Amino acid sequence: MHHNVNAPFDREAVKTFKAGDTISLSGTIYTARDAAHKKMIELIKENKPLPFDIKNSTIYYVGPCPSREGEVIGSAGPTTSYRMDAYAPTLIELGQTGMIGKGLRGQNVINAMKEFGAVYFGAIGGAGALMAECIKSQEIIAFPELGAEAVRKLEVRELPLTVIIDCYGNNLYEMGKAKYRKI
């Protein structure tokens, strides 16, 4: 099934997404990679505010390339998601509903997704230029010292995604392997 989704979205919307569904995501999302996630968890431990409202947020695991003249952003392909696995459950518990990246997720993340209601979207690895075309604006909002890994607020339009893991724990990677084991 295909969904046109506006971000931010809540946990009720998350329940409608199933592993294998395709998504066209529009709206406001944020970027953060492992260095930014580590800093955000430190802020939480220090009872300091996060750089954005984590409730109903979607984080895109990306460190975009510098933009060329006339472009909003440079190539913006997804990074490997497992590097955020140590941090993601805390953010999910605090209200994060979406994650965008590539690759497998640990059981700790899947358990948090099922318990609190979150979804993991896969973006097309190796297609950073295509993904960048869907980004209509960007602003660094935290940790500028991290360069490409600074936290950015993005406005996206029709970002092409696939639901890899839904809030029920269904995992497209596992479903795909199971399908071919039967043949």
Active site members: 37
**Distance between CA atoms of residues 81 and 161, nearest Å:** 14
By the 8 A CB rule, do 135 and 72 touch?
yes
DSSP H/E element including 177 = helix 172-181
Nearest to 21 by CA among 35, 33, 7, 5: 5
Nearest to 4 by CA among 36, 37, 27, 34: 27
**Distance between CA atoms of residues 67 and 104, nearest Å:** 29
